[in-house]
Structure 1
Amino acid sequence: MTIAEPHTPLTFRGDLDVPTGLPRGIDLGRMNNVDKAIAMYGRPLVEKMTDHALLADDYAYRAMLDFKDKSNSMNWRTFDVAVEHGLDALDDPTPGVVALFEQMETVPDWVDFDQLYRGAVAFWRAGMIVQPILAWATIAGGFSMYSATRPVLFSGRLRKADKVGTRLIESFRYVVAAYTPGGMGRFEEGFRLTAKVRMIHAAVRHSLSQSDAWDWANWGIPINNMDAMVTQSGQFGVKFTDAVQASGIRFSDRELDDIFALSRYVGYVIGVPPELLHTDYEDARRKTELHTLLELPPDQLCRDVVESIIKFSIENPPGDVEVLPGPLAKVMTDERRLKLAYGLLREWIPADVMDALGAEKTAWRFVLPAARPLIRIADRIQRALPHDDEKAAFTLLHNFNNAIAVPGGDKAHEVANPEEVGADIAANKGGMPVVAQR
């Protein structure tokens, strides 16, 4: 393997393509409750986090720019080869690609792969409740966040009924792979899909950075470090484990440590800088709660996205996997399931967020509080008796993987095609209004 001569100096400050003249992160229009946040968490942490709203993953971005440079041999196909077989499988990789793989493949000294394995087992061992929590509370609920919704609006993939299902299944494939026991080993499926999603983020960032409809002064840099951090520490960490425990299933302290060690490593591989990554469960909760405090309330665009995801998942569950008990499932129409979903979300998502989403307070909101004591007792009995969490996790994962399998096993279509998403963004298929000319 030889390394091609660089065309331009490599830059990894995290601010490539950011326009000059922007306010500091703390002064962006998207920031809410700043004074309260400073009083509660201290100015240093608030400034550190908000500064990262104008910083992003330049390792992946530089590599993606190399793909666009036709003077070298790097492209999306060669990236896939390197992810599957290692960088040595490429001839003349560019410095940007080399730097990206060196960063991704460097395992931090805090990583214990046995702990990550235990964390993945704990993530799934709760059983069938995991599916609705992932679909409704974690993925759909994540888009109740104003900041998380902005980058996905431009392609129209979460606002158009014929695109929502594809986007939801792609998210499931990534999460299932990354959080499968052993999945984050260098040549395992979790690492491979995490690396691919990382590059999709870089492509989306590039397309949005060129868009006249991207509101830099209000939103900061697309796919920024601040929001990428909370996806792992919050969306697939704090908010997921809180929802599971709100359902009556308790994680032990060790299980929480293990789950958050896994989400930390997934965050590292997907490009969250070490200085912003959570260090443990308590740090993840602190940073997630700070991020939540700084969020603007959900707007109509958030409501549209959340509703489209939930409605699709109700009408078209992945692989027709049934999550409800048989007798109850038989009497559940799509309308009743939708009411049930919003009823469960009342227990999984803060009330003020649900109110801002305009969610109806249906009688189904009393289902989980009524069932929780029984679930809690059953969980305690199950934990006291001999049990095999690893078997339970792999059984659930087997069902998930069958449900979300790519037709024909075609890996080219397991997650989004970066060029297609970029073209949709460039065409502004989401119909976002132009805010400035660059």
Structure 2
Amino acid sequence: MTDTVPLTFRGDLDVPEGLPRGIDLGRIANADKAIGMFGRPLVETVTDHALLADDYAYRAMLDFKDKSNSMNWRTFDTAIEHGLDALDDVTPAVAALFEQMETVPDWVDFDQLYRGAVAFWRAGMIVQPILAWGTIAGGFSMYSATRPVLFSGRLRKADKVGTRLIESFRYVVAAYTPGGMQRFGEGFRLTAKVRMIHAAVRHSLSRSDAWDWADWGIPINNMDSMVTQAGQFGVKFTDAVQASGFRFSDRELDDIFALSRYVGYVIGVPPEILHTGYDDARRKTELHTMLELPPDDLCRDVVESVIRYSIENPPGGVEVLPGPIAKIMTNERRLKLAYGLLHEWLPADVMAALGAEKTAWSRLLPTARPLIRVADRIQRTLPHDDEKAAFTLLRNFNDAIAVPDGDTKHEVASPDEVGADISANKGGMPVVSGR
């Protein structure tokens, strides 16, 4: 193996000249209001990162495409599973990527991350619909989150949605499994693989005539990657669990957000905007939400396609809903139930923009919440084993999302296949005027 060469990257590789500053991109709403509430320095720092992305992974991925060296997706998998010492020849960019990923920041306490993962799952069965509908599907209500996924068609075509949904579950389950983010844990391995898929997607989108730089910024940018961990799998997840009647202690919240912070670090969110804890994650998530454009028709299509697929084709045949409820529910009732729950888990203006009317199902959770709250309080005063509860739920998830025949080549998306779909614009995105 070659010696590690210290490298640092700006994060703007392939960004065309002549673009406005991040705060002036078309995707940014309510900039003046955000400055008034959060201060100009934070707003400008965060929005600048709409034009910056993870160049560590991007430069490594470019080495995979360069046939003059020995680096490729196969050797990357070897290095993730066994370390860089397992390779005979490593390019400087790949060495820099691994140096960054493998350097454990001094704020990391792996015992705390373990506790955070236990807390993440300990609420039990409610976690499944929250992840499927509130976190993953609900995440695509964000205008910015939806743009990069539209080009491949994988979330707009019925025969592709299931694959994409299960891949997302595999990654989240692995990353948030107790102990999963240890260097040779499954969470670390899949987080690194997803990071490289993001680099491949960025490469293809950057070369697409349908990618609107002046509107959207750089594909898979730091600003949006930050809020995926701080917001989507952090604030919005924990808020949804607590809106359902469960309560996280202050320590549990600290532990969960320490875990999401480290996942964000490994996946490439830079220290300048990576959340530092629960309060900082909430502040940055609220800022990101304020700067978002409202959901459009494309957001509505993606949200419904993900929810409808999870209802009609539960991953691995494992129900998102508790068994007694699932037995009496038709698919249309399930769809109404899902949107009813989303009314409690997503902001009212987002639900209105998604065109989700309130039905009788919207009253289910408010009716059940006091009972759930009392049961949770009683359960917390009695002897309980949160670790056992977490691993019981995780076994159900892992059984549902297991890779057929243990073939890890297909556990997450193939970068080459996704890149080809994006290049072919299978999502049918219109070419940007003047490009």
TM range (shorter): over 0.9
Contact 1:3 1:94 in 2 (8 A): no
1:208-219 alignment to 2 at 5 Å? 208-219=205-216
In structure 1, C-alpha distance between the alignment counterparts of 2:19 and 2:321, rounded to whole Å: 50
Please point out which of 154, 160, 164 is paired with 2:161.
Answer: 164
Q: How does 1:250-289 map to 2 (within 5 A)?
A: 250-289=247-286
Amino acid at match of 2:2: T
Percent of aligned positions with the same letter in both sequences? 87
Q: Distance in 2 between matches of 1:335 and 1:421?
A: 31
Contact 2:314 2:320 in 1 (8 A): no
Aligned-partner Cα distance in 2 for 1:216–1:413:
31
Equivalent pair of 1:212/1:437 in contact (CA under 8 Å) = no
User: Following TM superposition, by how much is the alpha carbon of 1:411 offset from its aligned partner in structure 2, in angstroms?
Assistant: 0.2
Q: Among 64, 67, 70, which residue is 1:70 paired with?
A: 67
TM-score by length of 2: 0.98
Q: State how far apart, in whole Å, the 2-side matches of 1:320 and 1:130 are.
A: 17
Tell me the amino acid that sits aligned with residue 333 of structure 1. T
Distance 1:307 1:313 in 2: 10
Shift of 1:185: 0.3
Deviation at 1:221, TM superposition (A): 0.2
**Structure 2 unaligned runs (5+)?**
none
Native 8 Å contact 1:117 1:182 kept in 2: yes
8 Å CA contact retained: 1:3, 1:92: no
Question: SS at 1:129's partner residue?
Answer: helix
Post-superposition CA distance 1:164-222 (Å, at most 9, x none): 00000000000000000000000010000000000000000000000010000000000
Matched residue type, 2:139: G
Local SS of the residue matching 1:180: coil
For residues 391 and 324 of structure 1, the distance between their equivalents in structure 2, rounded to whole angstroms, comes to 21
Q: RMSD over aligned Cα, in angstroms?
A: 1.3
**Aligned partners of 2:76 and 2:350: how far apart in 1?**
40
Partner deviation per Cα, 1:310-347 (whole Å, 9 max, x = no partner): 00001111122234344432210111000000000000
How many residues matched?
435
1:16 to 13, 16, 19: 13
Counterpart of 2:170, as a letter, is R
Find the counterpart in structure 1 of residue 220 from structure 2: 223
Q: In structure 1, what residue type is equivalent to 2:273? A: L
Structure 1 gaps, min length 5 = none
Distance across 1 between alignment mates of 2:244 and 2:7: 48
1:322-341 aligned within 5 A: 322-341=319-338
CA shift digits 1:116-142 (9 cap, x unpaired) = 000000000000100000000000000
Cα displacement (A) at 1:103: 0.2
Aligned residue identity for 1:287 = K
The answer to whether the Cα contact below 8 Å between 2:7 and 2:96 also exists between their aligned partners in 1 is no
Maintained 8 Å contact 1:183/1:190: yes
1:114 and 2:111 aligned = yes
Q: Distance in 1 between matches of 2:184 and 2:221?
A: 27
Moved runs in structure 1, 4+ residues, more than 4 A?
A: none
CA deviation string 1:39-66 (max 9, x = no partner) = 0000000000000000000000000000
Offset, 1:437 = 5.5
Q: For 1:381-396, list aligned pairs within 5 A.
A: 381-396=378-393
How many angstroms does 1:92 deviate by? 1.2
Q: AA paired with 1:56? A: A
Structure 2 residue 431 is matched with structure 1 residue 434: yes
Whole-angstrom CA distance in 1 between matches of 2:237 and 2:165: 17
Q: Give 3-state SS (helix, strand or coil) of 1:354's partner.
A: helix
